[in-house]
Amino acid sequence: MANSITQTITESITLEGNAISNSLTNTVSNLVYKESKIINLSTSFQTIVTADATASAFPKYDWDKVNYLSITNLDDTNLVYIELELSTGTDFAYLTIGPGMWWSINSLQNYIDDDSGLAADIEAIQGKFRSSAGNIELLIGSIA
pLDDT digits over 95-134, tens only? 999 999 999 887 666 666 556 666 677 788 899 999 999 9
Burial class (CB in 10 A: 0-12, 13-18, 19+), 100: exposed
The pLDDT, as a whole number, for residue 58 is: 56
The pLDDT, as a whole number, for residue 1 is: 46
In 48-138, which ranges are continuous DSSP H helix? none
Contact assessment for residue 134 and residue 19, using Cβ atoms and an 8 Å cutoff? no
Write the single-letter amino acid at 88: T
The conformational region for residue 100 under phi > 0 = left, psi -120 to 50 = alpha, else beta, is left
Distance CA 66, CA 37 (A): 16
Percent of the chain with pLDDT over 70: 80
Per-residue pLDDT tens over the stretch 20-42: 898 888 787 777 778 889 999 99
Domains and CATH numbers, the chain: 31-143 (2.60.120.770)
Calculate the dihedral angle through the C-alpha atoms of 91, 36, 74, 29, rounding to the nearest 10 degrees: 80
How, if at all, do strands 80-86 and 122-129 pair?
Answer: antiparallel
The pLDDT, as a whole number, for residue 122 is: 79
61 vs 80, which has greater pLDDT?
80
